[in-house]
Amino acid sequence: MPNYVVGHKIPDSDSICSAIALSYLKTELGEHTVPARLGELSPETLFILDKFGFEQPELKLSYAGESLYIVDHSERTQGPDDIDEATILGIIDHHKLGDITTSTPLECWIRPVGCTNTIIKMMYDFHDIAIPKDIAGAMMCAILSDTVIFKSPTCTTADIKCVEALAEIAGIDDPQALGMEMFKVKSAVEDTPIRDLVLRDFKDFDMNGHLVGIGQLEVIDLAIFDNIKAELEADIAALKAEGNRHSVLLLLTDIMKEGSEVLVVSDDAELTNKAYGKASTNGRVWLDGVLSRKKQVVPPLQESFS
């Protein structure tokens, strides 16, 4: 039976590329390990897999009785539903420490950097294992995605250095141009069902006993939402009711203007005022300079619930 590597539900490019990269490293180190995923892939991730010639990792939702590495999260709400019945061999992550615990010792690589793949690059270096060209390309794209081409406040010099090193291995002359190409793919919303857009990059958090869902759409121009904003608002209201959530936020992030318009439905009308010092008007508020859910959106919100 192989070991698995799996990222969070509603997988993003970091979750998928880190599953692929870590599986290769572990297998090279003598542990047969395969990448897996907890859901369907986004157009951006499909673009990366296609560009570097990878198949989609196996769709695998149940891990009872198996051994796995968790990447790109450490939250019970975001991991496999039956994680309690699995053996967690390790966690490699760059988010706040979540609530996954283990009954056996585990390997932990947790660093406050912009992307899980940056940490996995450190692991390759630590073990002195060469990164294949195609894996280097996928890792590089994941870092460009998670750091919003270095613009996110989560981006560190380690992330930038990793992109430079991985670009060299992958033979990519202009990583930032490839990053823009990727964000153009990410910005395409036409012909996509509204619910798919809302859930494209959506995470649930347990905030002091309240379930809060936060989605994010990162695009190169917010004008693409002009015609569908009302539908997005209706859908997050439906999602709040269906999941019995306290609040649902949808961040419409403009990576060129470097800020986010937040659409919010909440049991607490004062939610954004309490968390960010800015009241919402008709369920909308612009937060200037806000690009990162994990660093700028979740912490103040969590604080407001405590």
239 vs 255, beta carbon nearer Mg ion: 255
150 vs 237, beta carbon nearer Mg ion: 150
Number of residues assigned to the chain: 306
How big is the CA angle at 203 (ends 185 and 5), to the nearest 5 degrees?
A: 80
SS (H, E, C) 165-215: HHHHHHCCCCHHHHHHHHHHHHCCCCCCCHHHHHCCCEEEEEECCEEEEEE
Record the tokens describing residue 178, joined without a space.
Answer: 């490839």
137 vs 215, beta carbon nearer Mg ion: 215
Q: Which of 6, 14, 88, 118 binds Mg ion (CB under 5 A)?
A: 14
Question: CA 51, CA 26: separation in Å to the nearest integer?
Answer: 24
The least distance separating Mg ion from the CB of residue 146, rounded to whole angstroms, comes to: 5
The least distance separating Mg ion from the CB of residue 300, rounded to whole angstroms, comes to: 17
- Residues in contact with Mg ion, shown as a per-residue x/- string from 22 to 61 under the rule CB under 5 A: ----------------------------------------
Helix (H), strand (E) at residue 287: strand 284-288
Residues 6+ apart with CB under 8 A from 68: 3, 4, 5, 6, 36, 80, 86, 87, 88, 89
Q: Contact at 8 Å (CB) between 41 and 186?
A: no
The least distance separating Mg ion from the CB of residue 92, rounded to whole angstroms, comes to: 10
- Residues in contact with Mg ion, shown as a per-residue x/- string from 146 to 175 under the rule CB under 5 A: x-----------------------------
| Interface region with Mg ion, contact rule CB under 5 A, candidates 138-146, 173-181, 253-261, 271-279 | 138-146
| Interface region with Mg ion, contact rule CB under 5 A, candidates 127-135, 139-147, 228-236, 264-272 | 139-147
Decide: is 72 part of the binding site for Mg ion (CB under 5 A): yes
**CB-closest chain residue to Mg ion:** 14
Backbone φ and ψ of 171, nearest 5°: 70, 40
Q: Which of 3, 9, 10, 12 binds Mg ion (CB under 5 A)?
A: 12
75-114: contacts with Mg ion (CB under 5 A): none
Record the tokens describing residue 270, joined without a space.
Answer: 């004062």
The least distance separating Mg ion from the CB of residue 166, rounded to whole angstroms, comes to: 15
**Which residues make up the interface to Mg ion (CB under 5 A)?**
12, 14, 72, 116, 146
